[in-house]
Chains A and B, each alone.
Chain A
C-alpha cells in the first residue's frame, strides 16, 4: 500500500468518527422523572416548575431540542408568574436546562457512553495517525508539496465549510451547551475519573482541545523531524496543554482546590481578577494565595524578564494554549494569513485596542471589588463592561473567530489581531528584547517561502532581501520562516540588543 492509500483510509476513518460524533447528538431520548427532578431543582422552584413541566413528566422527548425547549418555556412561565406575584427576587436566574437535560437523558447514548467514548476517540486518533504517521517514510526535510493545490487554499469553499464547522462548534459550546448534552454524557466517565464530577461543556472543550494538540502535535513532530527547534517547541506546547491546561486543573478540582491553569496569565486570562476567582483563592488558603501571587508574578515579572531574554516566543509558541492549538491543529492553515501591509496596519490597531480594553475592564472590576461601587464615577458600569468584554473578546473573538477562521485567515487570527497578552509581550519584544531574526548576509534569493509560511502575516522577505534583521512585535518565534528558507538565511537569535541590524 502506498502512502496515499493509507492516508485515504485514515481520512475515511476520521470522517466516520466525526459522523458518529455528530450522530451521538441525536442518540438519546429525554424523560423527566420525579427523583432526578427533585435532586436537581432547588426547593423554592420545585413546586412551581413541576406544575408547568407536567407534560414533560408524562411524555418522552425524542430529541434534545424539544426537551430543552420545554424547560425553557416552563422556566419563562414560572418567572412570569413570580414576577406577577411580586416575588421577582425568587426568579430562576440559573436555568436548569443543562442540569435537567443531562439528568434526563435515557437511551442508547446514556447506556453505552463508555463504549461510544472509546469508539469515537479511538477511531479519531487511529484515523489521524494513519493520516500523519506514514509521512515518516519520506526523507526528512521541508515537504510543502501541493499545499497551494489543496482545495483549502485553492478555492475558498472547503475552507468555508471547515470554518463553518469550527464556528458552529464554538457557538454551540459557548451559547447553546444544552444541545450538546449527549456529548457531555459520553465524557462523563472520563470526567468522573479525573475530577470526580460530571462533565461540563468546559471539560468537553478541554478534552477535545488536548486531543487536537496531541494528535496534530505528532503530525508536527513528524513533519519537522529534521528541525530540532520545531521538535522541542512542539513537545513543549504538547506538554503544557496536557499537563498544565488539562490534567492539573482536574486534579486540583478532585482535591477540592480552586482549579487553575497555572500557565495561563492575565490579560489573556481576563477573569483572573474577577471577584469570584479572587474569593475562591482567598478561601483556599495557602495554595490559593500562592496561585494568586504566582499569577501576578507571571505577568508582572515573568513577561518582561523572559521576553527580554528570549522574545515573546517563550510564551506564544512554547507555552500558551491558544498558541499550542495554532501550532498543531492550525499548522496546515498557516499559509493563509494575510501578508499585505493593510493587514499589518489593521492588526496594530485592533490588538492594542483589545489590550486597552482589557486593562480598563480589569481596572473597573477591581475598583468595584475594593470599593463596592458598581459604577466608576457614577457612569461606567463595571459589570456591564466585564460582561461585554467576556462576550465580545472572550467568547466571540478568541473562540468563534479565533479558531473558526483558521481555514480562512490562517491559524493565528486571535493571536495576531486580538490577544491582549500578545500585544503586551509584543511591546516588550519590540522595544526591549534581545530577540530578533537575523538575516544571513546577502544570501536571500527573495523566493518568498518565509513570508508565505509566516502565520503572523509578517512579510519576512521584505527584511531578508534587504539584509535587515526582523524585529517585529507580532513575531511569535515559531521558527517556521527559518525552517522553510531554502538558503538558510534566517535564524532566531537572542543577542546583545545593540547588535540589531534594522
Chain B
C-alpha cells in the first residue's frame, strides 16, 4: 500500500514515523517548503542567530532513507480524489496513492488592508518568510508589527535582537487579553515595554503606504497617525492552508472537516494538524487548534488507525506553553480570559518579579479547572493527574511543591502562594511537604 502525506510539518512527519513503526507500507512525504522536516517553532532562533537551520531539523538527514520514508520536494497543485492522483505544480509527473493524509498546515491571515501585498509586508510562518525577512533586514530601521499574539511578539523579539525599532499595533486594550486574564496581560504589557518595544494598545491598522516602487514605506493607523517603516509584519492569526482544495468534493469549513478518527468525507483521505477541523472536538477543546503537540498526537493516532486498529483522537487534558521574551509561560486545563460564572479565579503575583500563578477552580466544589504559571516551571505529569482526577484546589495547594519543575537551587514560592490563598479565603492551609531536608531528599 502506498500512503502519501502532503506536508512535512510535525503532523505529517509524526504520522510517517509511526506508520513506519507499525507497518511496511510505502510512504511518501511531500512538501514544497524545505526538503527536510524542521521545527517551525524555532524559526525565530534561526533569525536571532541562536541556531542555524540544520540545528532545527528533527532528525539527521540519513534518517529518512534508513526508515524508507520517501521525501518529495514539490508542490501539490491539485488532487484528483477519484483516480487517487496528485498533480505537482512544477513537474508534469503525478503521484498515485492508496491512502492520502493531508497535513498542509496553516497560512498567515490578511484582512484586505490596502497595501497588504507590497514588498516588505509579510507574515512569519515559513522558511520562505524567514528568507524574505533576512533579505530585507539590512534595510529595516523601523518595523511595525500588526497583531498582538505569540507570533507577533516573537517577530518583535527577533527584530529587537538586531537593534531595529519595533512598534506593535494591538487592537485590544491589553496584550493578548483575549486569551489571558487581565493580571497576566498587564504583566506582559510591562515586560514588552521593558524590552523597548513600542507597544500601541487600542491601535488598528488602516492602510499601508507605498514608496512608489512597490515597497511598503509607512503605515497609517485608524487614528490617522502615520508611522514610517520598512517592514510591516502581519501576525493576525492563521487559517488552514487548504485554498488549493476549495473546488473539490472535500468538505471544508474553517479547515478540512474530520471525524474522531481523523477521516474526511472522502474514503481513504485523512487530515491532521493545523489544516483540519474536528466535527466533534473532544471536551474542552476547540474545533481547530494550531498547536505543535496536537499535530503530533493526531499523527500518532492516525498511524494507528491506518496500520492497526481504528483509534479515536484523544488529546487529553489541555496544556500549552510559550515564552514571552524572557518570561516562560505554561498552562494546564482551562483558564479563560474572563472566567465563567461558576469559576473562582485566584492568583498570586510576585511583588517585583514577573512571576505569577493563577488557579481557577469551581466555586462550590473547589475542583481545579485550570492553571496559568509564569516564571515557574511546573511538572506536566502532576498537573495532568490533578486535573483529570478533579482534585480540589486546596489539596493541590498543600502539595504544590510536587508540581515544581524549576532547576535546583531556584527560589520557591509555594509558601507565598499558600499564604496568599489563606489570606484571601480565610483558610488555614499548611503545606503538606514542607521543605525536605537534604538527606530526606537524597534518600526520598
Where the two chains meet, the residues of A that have a C-beta atom closer than 8 Å to any C-beta of B are: 139-142, 144-150, 226-229, 231-232, 309, 340-341, 440-443, 445-449, 451-452, 461, 465, 479, 482-483, 486-488, 491-492, 494-496
- Chain B: which residue is nearest A227 at the CB level? B407
Q: Are B381 and A448 neighbours in the complex by a CB distance under 8 Å? A: no
Q: Are A440 and B379 neighbours in the complex by a CB distance under 8 Å? A: yes
- Chain A: which residue is nearest B292 at the CB level? A445
Measured between alpha carbons, how far is A254 from B55 in the docked complex, in Å? 52
- From the candidates A447, A479, A482, A483, name the one contacting B42 in the complex (CB within 8 A): A447
Number of A-B contacts (CB under 8 A): 122
Given A148-B49, A229-B409, A443-B319, do A495 and B444 touch, yes or no (CB 8 Å)?
A: yes
- Asked if B146 is at the interface (CB within 8 A of a chain A CB), the reply is no
Q: Are A445 and B41 neighbours in the complex by a CB distance under 8 Å? A: yes
Instruction: Quote the shortest CB–CB distance from A240 to chain B (angstroms).
Output: 18
- Chain B: which residue is nearest A479 at the CB level? B407
18 contacts between A and B (CB under 8 A): A141-B326, A147-B49, A148-B51, A148-B52, A341-B60, A441-B319, A441-B379, A441-B384, A445-B292, A446-B39, A447-B41, A448-B51, A449-B42, A452-B51, A479-B407, A488-B405, A491-B377, A492-B408
Report A-chain residues with C-beta under 8 Å of the C-beta of B442: 309, 494
Instruction: Quote the shortest CB–CB distance from A1 to chain B (angstroms).
Output: 15
Report B-chain residues with C-beta under 8 Å of the C-beta of A479: 407
Instruction: Quote the shortest CB–CB distance from B438 to chain A (angstroms).
Output: 11
Q: Are B444 and A145 neighbours in the complex by a CB distance under 8 Å? A: no
Report B-chain residues with C-beta under 8 Å of the C-beta of A232: 409
Q: Which of B38-73 contact A (CB under 8 A)?
A: 39, 41-42, 45, 48-52, 55-58, 60
9 cross-chain pairs, A with B, having the tightest CB-CB distances, nearest first: A441-B380, A141-B326, A488-B377, A447-B42, A228-B409, A146-B49, A149-B49, A445-B41, A446-B39
- Chain A: which residue is nearest B316 at the CB level? A442
Instruction: Quote the shortest CB–CB distance from A464 to chain B (angstroms).
Output: 11
- Chain B: which residue is nearest A501 at the CB level? B381
Given A139-B195, A442-B293, A443-B380, do A482 and B50 touch, yes or no (CB 8 Å)?
A: no
Given A445-B39, A446-B58, A488-B377, do A139 and B326 touch, yes or no (CB 8 Å)?
A: yes
Q: Are B50 and A452 neighbours in the complex by a CB distance under 8 Å? A: yes
Report A-chain residues with C-beta under 8 Å of the C-beta of B244: none
Where chain A touches its partner, the secondary structure class is loop
Given A139-B326, A445-B292, A452-B51, do A496 and B444 touch, yes or no (CB 8 Å)?
A: yes
- Asked if B30 is at the interface (CB within 8 A of a chain A CB), the reply is no
- Asked if B427 is at the interface (CB within 8 A of a chain A CB), the reply is no
Given A440-B380, A445-B292, do A486 and B328 touch, yes or no (CB 8 Å)?
A: yes
Q: Are B326 and A140 neighbours in the complex by a CB distance under 8 Å? A: yes
Instruction: Quote the shortest CB–CB distance from B49 to chain A (angstroms).
Output: 4
Report A-chain residues with C-beta under 8 Å of the C-beta of B297: 442
Q: Are A465 and B58 neighbours in the complex by a CB distance under 8 Å? A: yes
Q: Are B408 and A229 neighbours in the complex by a CB distance under 8 Å? A: yes
Q: Which of B359-408 contact A (CB under 8 A)?
A: 377, 379-381, 384, 405-408
Q: Are B407 and A487 neighbours in the complex by a CB distance under 8 Å? A: no
Where the two chains meet, the residues of B that have a C-beta atom closer than 8 Å to any C-beta of A are: 10, 39, 41-42, 45, 48-52, 55-58, 60, 161, 194-195, 292-293, 296-297, 319, 321-323, 325-326, 328, 330, 377, 379-381, 384, 405-411, 442, 444
Measured between alpha carbons, how far is A483 from B297 in the docked complex, in Å? 27
Measured between alpha carbons, how far is A440 from B381 in the docked complex, in Å? 7
Report B-chain residues with C-beta under 8 Å of the C-beta of A148: 49-52
Instruction: Quote the shortest CB–CB distance from A317 to chain B (angstroms).
Output: 13
Report A-chain residues with C-beta under 8 Å of the C-beta of B52: 148
Report B-chain residues with C-beta under 8 Å of the C-beta of A341: 60
Q: Are B51 and A482 neighbours in the complex by a CB distance under 8 Å? A: no
Report B-chain residues with C-beta under 8 Å of the C-beta of A494: 442
Q: Are B323 and A491 neighbours in the complex by a CB distance under 8 Å? A: no
Measured between alpha carbons, how far is A432 from B381 in the docked complex, in Å? 25
- From the candidates B161, B384, B405, name the one contacting A145 in the complex (CB within 8 A): B161
Report A-chain residues with C-beta under 8 Å of the C-beta of B39: 445-448
Report B-chain residues with C-beta under 8 Å of the C-beta of A146: 48-49, 161
Max chain B Cβ within 10 angstroms of own Cβ: one of A150, A226, A228, A445: A445
Instruction: Quote the shortest CB–CB distance from A435 to chain B (angstroms).
Output: 11
Report A-chain residues with C-beta under 8 Å of the C-beta of B60: 340-341
Q: Are B56 and A491 neighbours in the complex by a CB distance under 8 Å? A: no
Report A-chain residues with C-beta under 8 Å of the C-beta of B444: 495-496
Measured between alpha carbons, how far is A147 from B50 in the docked complex, in Å? 6
Measured between alpha carbons, how far is A302 from B193 in the docked complex, in Å? 50
- From the candidates B41, B55, B161, B323, name the one contacting A452 in the complex (CB within 8 A): B55
Report A-chain residues with C-beta under 8 Å of the C-beta of B379: 440-441
Q: Are A443 and B42 neighbours in the complex by a CB distance under 8 Å? A: no
- Chain A: which residue is nearest B37 at the CB level? A446
Q: Are B384 and A448 neighbours in the complex by a CB distance under 8 Å? A: no
Max chain B Cβ within 10 angstroms of own Cβ: one of A142, A148, A149, A229: A148
Measured between alpha carbons, how far is A228 from B325 in the docked complex, in Å? 19
Measured between alpha carbons, how far is A482 from B408 in the docked complex, in Å? 11
Q: Are A442 and B296 neighbours in the complex by a CB distance under 8 Å? A: yes
Q: Are B405 and A440 neighbours in the complex by a CB distance under 8 Å? A: yes
Measured between alpha carbons, how far is A448 from B55 in the docked complex, in Å? 6
Q: Are A488 and B328 neighbours in the complex by a CB distance under 8 Å? A: yes
